[in-house]
């Protein structure tokens, strides 16, 4: 088709025009799409021409997705999945985002909400229609059964060690250890570029440096923490404090030490408080005289028993010995960590918060069924659980409950 300037009738371009009628379009509205020859003057000319048509304006950022959401084409979790898909940097992130866009968590949440509505219908039928002959006496017990199984299912989803959120942000590996052990050198090796300043003077890496890497398709954030040592210098003290805090919340800590004569005095056992596994990385093996330390050779070995460490690696960050073993182990660790990824539903703190609130409300409802069995209180907690799930998908609809009551019990003829 020919695209013309409305006022002059001048042909701007010859284009393909596609018409997607509502409600089957992406946004649920009538959509017209022009496929133009994409040069700057063509696009500018067509936009200018469209601007003269009444009711036409440029879309706000995200407006099409927003309309798709408002028209019920996408739920909130799918909208987030779409955002994540566009932002995905690694294959594993891309897959997770795509699963979410296709409703992995949204559909589950909607199915949970439907079951909850059934339970609500039972309890509210007790309240609203208790004198009707065809309402069975005890509706609380079957409702409690539904609520209990729902509660356990949602609680099980929450025991995922935060893998979904981690996949979005990256597995966090902290490189820690005494100053001058070679942490920055190791980070640069990992990043294959000069991300941290390597300096022969102790205490130069004062802040926490982050590098985002892809290891075997998995996103990994490596932190180079300032040399951890006691210092009277305030700036360095602050660096040490931050380093400890970041290392404490990492998924894995690499504790780097200098095994050469010069660094021998440095601590061998990681003095870090962290729930994460810690690997000891003995660096600068190139400086050891041959035979000086017979059991130290490039590669990895298991630590002596009773150690808090999981592995010991002997490397030369500068020369490269032992790095393959260390990087291979890191990739395997990341792979294992994300292995359960296919089943992970929760990818954001928002999902977790909503699901935690759902479980908490269901727990209160169950406590009430066991205690006083006051239907109004039980119903109130179920409504709270239902709204938390409704918030998760961005859909809240109280009419559903009434529909369910009338369908199940044929009341109100």
Could you tell me the smallest distance in angstroms from the CB atom of residue 223 to ligand GDP?
12
Q: Nearer Cβ to ligand GDP, position 286 or 356?
A: 286
If the CB atoms of residues 82 and 330 are measured against ligand GDP, the closer one turns out to be 330
One DSSP character per residue, 159-227 reads -STTHHHHHHH-EEEEEE-STTSSHHHHHHHHHTS--S---SSTT---S-EEEEEEETTEEEEEEEPPP
Q: Closer to ligand GDP at the Cβ: 181 or 362?
A: 181
Q: Report how far residue 360's alpha carbon sits from residue 352's, in angstroms, rounded to the nearest whole number.
A: 12
Q: Please give the structure tokens belonging to residue 42.
A: 């063509």
CB of 177 vs ligand GDP, minimal distance in Å:
6
CA–CA distance, 55 with 6 (Å, rounded to integer): 15
* Between 189 and 383, CB nearer to ligand GDP: 189
User: Shortest distance, CB of residue 221 to ligand GDP, whole angstroms?
Assistant: 17
Please give the span between the terminal C-alpha atoms of the chain, in angstroms, as a whole number.
58
**Minimum gap (Å) between residue 252 Cβ and ligand GDP:** 17
Q: Which is nearer to ligand GDP, 120 or 184 (CB)?
A: 184
Cβ at position 397, least distance to ligand GDP in Å: 56
- Minimum distance from CB of 274 to ligand GDP (Å)? 18
**Cα 140 from Cα 137, distance rounded (Å):** 9
Pick between residue 199 and residue 269 the one whose CB is nearest to ligand GDP.
199
Closest CB to ligand GDP among residues 106, 239: 239
Minimum Å gap between C-beta 362 and ligand GDP is 49
* Nearest distance from C-beta of residue 200 to ligand GDP, angstroms: 4
Of 128, 135, 221, residue with least CA distance to 170? 221
Closest residue by beta carbon to ligand GDP: 182
CA gyration radius, the chain: 30
Closest to ligand GDP by CB, 316 or 358? 316
Task: Indicate the helix (H) or strand (E) that contains 279.
Answer: strand 278-283
Q: Are 322 and 316 in contact (CB under 8 A)?
A: yes
Other CB atoms within 10 Å distance of the CB of residue 267: 13
Q: Give the nearest distance from C-beta 215 to ligand GDP in angstroms.
A: 20
Shortest distance in whole angstroms from residue 33 CB to ligand GDP: 54
- Contacts of residue 162, defined as CB under 8 A and 6 or more positions apart, other chains included, come to 346, 352
- Which helix (H) or strand (E) segment holds residue 242: the answer is helix 234-248
Q: How far apart are CA 195 and CA 185, in angstroms?
A: 9
Q: Can you name the residues that pair with 174 across neighbouring β-strands?
A: 223, 253
CB of 244 to ligand GDP, least distance (A): 15
Binding site for ligand GDP (CB under 6 A): 179-185, 198-200, 205, 227, 283-284, 286-287, 316-319
Q: Are strands 218-224 and 209-215 parallel, antiparallel or unpaired?
A: antiparallel
Q: With DSSP H G I counted as helix, E B as strand and the rest as coil, what are the percentages for the chain, rounded to 5?
A: 50, 15, 40
Q: Token pair for residue 111?
A: 């199915």
Nearer to ligand GDP, 74 or 317 (CB): 317
Nearer to ligand GDP, 283 or 347 (CB): 283
Output 101 or 181, the one with its CB closest to ligand GDP. Answer: 181
CB 85 within 8 A of CB 97: yes
Q: Is 314 helix (H, G, I), strand (E, B) or coil?
A: strand
The C-alpha atoms of residue 207 and residue 226 are separated, in whole angstroms, by 6
């Amino acid at each position: 088709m020919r695209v013309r300037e409305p006022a002059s009738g001048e042909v701007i371009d010859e284009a393909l025009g596609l018409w997607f009628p509502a409600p089957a379009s992406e946004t649920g509205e009538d959509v017209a799409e022009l496929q133009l020859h994409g040069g700057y003057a063509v696009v500018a000319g067509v936009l200018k021409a469209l601007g003269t048509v009444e009711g036409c304006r440029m879309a706000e950022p995200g407006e099409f997705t927003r309309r798709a959401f408002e028209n019920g084409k996408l739920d909130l979790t799918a909208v987030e999945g779409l955002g994540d898909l566009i932002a995905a940097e690694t294959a594993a992130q891309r897959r997770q985002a795509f699963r979410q866009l296709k409703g992995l968590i949204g559909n589950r949440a909607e199915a949970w909400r439907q079951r909850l509505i059934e339970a609500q219908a039972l309890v509210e039928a007790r309240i609203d229609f208790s004198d009707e002959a065809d309402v069975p006496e005890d509706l609380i017990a079957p409702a409690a059964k539904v609520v209990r199984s729902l509660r356990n299912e949602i609680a099980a989803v929450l025991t995922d060690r935060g893998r979904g959120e981690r996949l979005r942000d990256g597995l966090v590996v902290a490189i820690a250890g005494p100053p001058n052990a070679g942490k920055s050198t190791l980070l640069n090796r990992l990043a294959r570029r000069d991300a941290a300043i390597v300096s022969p003077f102790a205490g130069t890496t004062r802040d926490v440096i982050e590098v985002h890497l892809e290891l075997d398709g998995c996103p990994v954030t490596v932190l180079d923490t300032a040399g951890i040592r006691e210092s009277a210098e305030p700036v360095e003290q602050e660096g040490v404090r931050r380093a400890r805090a970041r290392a404490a919340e990492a998924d894995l800590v690499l504790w780097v030490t200098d095994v050469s004569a010069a660094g021998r005095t440095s601590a061998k056992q990681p003095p870090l408080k962290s729930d994460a596994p810690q690997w000891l990385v003995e660096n600068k093996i190139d400086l050891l005289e041959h035979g000086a330390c017979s059991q130290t050779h490039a590669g990895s070995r298991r630590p002596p028993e009773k150690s808090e460490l999981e592995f010991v690696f002997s490397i030369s960050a500068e020369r490269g010995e032992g790095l393959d073993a260390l990087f291979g182990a890191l990739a395997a660790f990341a792979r294992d960590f994300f292995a359960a990824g296919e089943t992970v539903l929760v990818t954001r703190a928002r999902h977790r918060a909503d699901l935690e609130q759902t479980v908490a409300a269901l727990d209160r409802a169950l406590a009430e069924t066991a205690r006083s069995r006051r239907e109004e209180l039980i119903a109130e907690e179920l409504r709270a659980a239902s709204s938390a799930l409704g918030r998760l998908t961005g859909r809240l609809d109280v009419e559903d409950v009434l529909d369910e009551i009338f369908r199940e019990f044929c009341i109100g003829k």
